Amino acid sequence: MKNTEQVQILQELVEINSVNGNEAAVATYIQKLFANHGITSKIIPYTDGRSNIVAEIGDTASDKVLALAGHLDTVATGDVADWQFSPFSAHVENNRLYGRGAADMKSGLAGMVITFINLADQKVKLNGRLRFIGTVGEENGAMGSRLLTEQGIADDLDGIIIGEPTGGNLVYAHNGSLNYHVYSQGRGAHSSMPEKGINAITNLIKYVTAESTEFADAPVSPELGPLVHSVTVFNGGEQVNSIPAKAELQGNIRPIPEFDNEAVIKRLNETVDKLNQEADVNLTLHVDYSFKPVISATDSGLVKLTKQIADDEFGHPVELQVIHGATDASEYTKSANQFPVVVYGAGEWNDAHSLNESVDLDLFAHVQHVYERLTKEFLA
């Protein structure tokens, strides 16, 4: 496939607005593209307008399976007027393509799609199966990868590449991510008679104060560093002259293997239970979703092979890195099957979710070459 055709695929993917939804349009686009090159794929609906897509090529009789996986959604754009170019114009300037999802992660997605097409067009013999997985909702709950994992998508994998933006470097580990709500129930009253009410905000602030030292005893991971936690959303009250009867907050935590999701949830419950022993405090915890941390051995065959190919492709050693975001790998690795995970993609990590998000087109081409060479050698 010519370079211009490859860039066109990336442009057309970025032009589809799949902000926290509408992934069905992306899945349908990929399915039609695959069909034009003789690749059969399956659309797996999640809900109206939201669909996953799975495809497979190679030796159907083989038990060896490598997956190239990515998400079809993007985060919100923010105020479109603040963008240098329209976030869905896929504008190219100075060898960079601009748009929401250009880095995170439609460039990785496009590279994986192009890899499938090239291998199919060239009729490359694979001694194994190559699986494409495109999912809904990774940016807000990972419901797509959760659904597919429950259906067994990862139960036969020998390895998986997640195409999140890594700037061409190789990520072998990442934190988990856990989102939660704490709700505070009080009793409304006129602000001139606060003693008649129970201030839900005042009680919720008690949790915020406790949260600041809630994980002070958590160990530091030698791979991922400290557990990171923050209260990020706070809402309460309706009227300035009324004692608020309700308030709520949201928090985000980045678990580590040494203080994992189960330990985090236990600690959150302990904190809330302790505060609820105080007079008139009525707090309720709800865990919204929980991604576990993922670490692959740096001496695993997949990690070593990917690095060897990337080093050669770029002409210098790429870095082995960890990131503190989470990916769909947190769901796939819930399978009883054990397999290595590599996070590897075009786009820079700090470009993800940013205003004027973009990807360097040379980097995009190099990463796609790595996907293709890795597939051929892993399934040689």
pLDDT, average across residues 85-114: 98
pLDDT of residue 251: 98
pLDDT of residue 202: 98
pLDDT, one tens digit per residue, over 61-81 is: 999 999 999 999 999 999 999
Are both 371 and 246 inside the same structural domain? no
Residue 57, pLDDT > 90, answer yes
Are both 278 and 131 inside the same structural domain? no
pLDDT, average across residues 277-284: 98
CATH number for position 134: 3.40.630.10
Q: Which of the listed residues 264, 291, 318 is the one where a domain comes to its end? A: 291
How high does pLDDT run on average in the chain?
97
Percent of the chain residues topping a pLDDT of 90:
97
Are both 52 and 152 inside the same structural domain? yes
Residue 48, pLDDT > 90, answer yes
Q: Label each residue of the chain as H, E or C.
A: CCHHHHHHHHHHHHHCCCECCCHHHHHHHHHHHHHHCCCCEEEEEEECCEEEEEEEEECCCCCCEEEEEEECCECCCCCHHHCCCCCCCCEEECCEEECCCHHHHHHHHHHHHHHHHHHHHCCCCCCCEEEEEEECCHHHCCHHHHHHHHCCCCCCCCEEEECCCCCCCEEEEECCEEEEEEEEECECEECCCHHHCECHHHHHHHHHHHHCCCCCCCCCECCCECCEEEEEEEEECCCCCEECCEEEEEEEEECECCECHHHHHHHHHHHHHHHCCCCCCCEEEEEEEEECCEECCCCCHHHHHHHHHHHHHHCCCCCEEEECCCCCHHHHCCCCCCCCEEECCCCCHHHCCCCCCEEEHHHHHHHHHHHHHHHHHHCC
Q: What is the pTM of this model?
A: 0.90
Q: Which of the listed residues 291, 320, 336 is the one where a domain comes to its end? A: 291
Residue 1: band (very low, low, confident or very high) from pLDDT cuts 50, 70, 90:
confident
Are both 259 and 345 inside the same structural domain? no
Are both 287 and 297 inside the same structural domain? no
pLDDT, average across residues 79-89: 97
Q: Which of the listed residues 291, 310, 328 is the one where a domain comes to its end? A: 291
**Boundaries of domain holding 312:** 3-175+293-378
pLDDT, one tens digit per residue, over 183-207 is: 999 999 999 999 999 999 999 999 9
Are both 220 and 202 inside the same structural domain? yes
Residue 140, pLDDT > 90, answer no
pLDDT of residue 295: 95
pLDDT, one tens digit per residue, over 319-372 is: 999 998 889 999 999 999 999 999 999 999 999 999 999 999 999 999 999 999
Are both 366 and 301 inside the same structural domain? yes
Are both 154 and 287 inside the same structural domain? no
Residue 2, pLDDT > 90, answer no
Are both 281 and 301 inside the same structural domain? no
pLDDT of residue 154: 98
Are both 206 and 272 inside the same structural domain? yes
Are both 258 and 328 inside the same structural domain? no
Domain count, the chain: 2
pLDDT of residue 325: 84
CATH number for position 268: 3.30.70.360
Residue 141, pLDDT > 90, answer no
pLDDT of residue 192: 97
pLDDT, average across residues 77-103: 97
